[in-house]
Amino acid sequence: MSSTVIPFGPQHPVLPEPLHIKLVMEDENIVEAIPAIGYVHRGLEKLTETKEFTQNTYVVERVCGICSVMHAMAYCQGIEELMNIEISDRAKFLRVIWAELHRMHSHFLWLGLVADAFGFESLFMQTWRDREKVMDIMEETAGSRVVISCNTIGGTRRDLTKEQMAKIVSTVDEIKHDLEQLEAVFLNNYTVKHRLVGVGVLTKADAIEYSTVGPMARASGIATDLRTTGYSAYGQLDFEPITHNDGDCYARTYVRLKEVYQSIDLIKQAIAKIPEGEHVVPFKGFPPKGDVISRVEQPRGEVLYYLRGNGTKNLDRLRLRTPTFANIPSLLKMLPGSQLADVPMLILTIDPCISCTER
């Protein structure tokens, strides 16, 4: 049987960012997938070598806006380890609150894109309505809606008042009520299940072999979540990784939807347990020297920062590995054997962040 090569992307209605995959087809069946990346390379790693280490917090936040808080958290944790800076307990809880708000708005964005992909425009609008409530919280507490620049070396740039924390609790409770009304459509609707169940299966063994991370790994039955290592204030909060054993598009949808509930619970726990104290500590001494690896659980999975300081105000090297980069091999494993009509949904369910990957 003769094969046909069909280019998918970099422009496509379901792709929020440019990803190009050459699909080798036999009739409607995919037999091979060949990726082509590099459309949004901005040279940010090289840029960090020309900026002072205190300025790089702003640079890494621009790697990706949707998970900017986690990029800054990973970077700041690495610098703080190199400089032996111990941040306050209050700052640790504040970082968790803003990180989980970012996880919520990232997952809501993804749920809306998935709803749009299978043609449920009303569901898309209702999902993004709740995302707007999360972004309004970030605007009220940090002054911006996406790149909020609240993390800094030594703690956080801003604090939260009791009134702001009470407002956050009431808003996330309202969002939880809204999500309970939408959950049945995402998880029980016949049309949605027809598009998702059994599509793009990634077995647990394959997920391990391809080093899958984040919700993709958890949807294949692997209970991996860096938050369980206890960084920041997560060690003082109660939670278990959300998992599913089927490893298909439906399982990945289930995990991300349930993680919104988990983020709401973590935010409420953090606000209930947050201690009094300073939100930032001034630091003195020599600039960072040595090597360190800092890891954080982003909405899409583990992000890894490698930092090398030489004792001057500039770093020798900053290198990062993002979760989408780790998950693309799994996507290339799932595409062969699938139908052409399933490709948009398959790509969306890895929640690709190409800006993170290429930076």
Q: Which residues are annotated as a binding site?
A: 45, 64, 67, 320, 353, 356
| Amino acid at position 253, single letter | T
Cβ-in-10-Å burial (0-12, 13-18, 19+) of 230 comes to: exposed
Q: Tokens at residue 200, please?
A: 């793009």
- C-beta neighbour count of 193 within 10 angstroms: 15
Is the alpha carbon torsion for 118, 124, 130, 134 positive or negative? positive
The C-alpha atoms of residue 329 and residue 12 are separated, in whole angstroms, by 21
User: What residue has token string 């496509």?
Assistant: 12
Residues in the annotated binding site for Mg(2+) = 45, 320
Work out the burial of residue 167: count CB atoms within 10 Å of its CB; fewer than 13 is exposed, 13-18 middle, 19 or more buried. middle
- Let me know the angle formed at the C-alpha of 353 by 44 and 136, rounded to the nearest 5 degrees: 95
CB 323 within 8 A of CB 301: yes
Binding residues for Ni(2+): 64, 67, 353
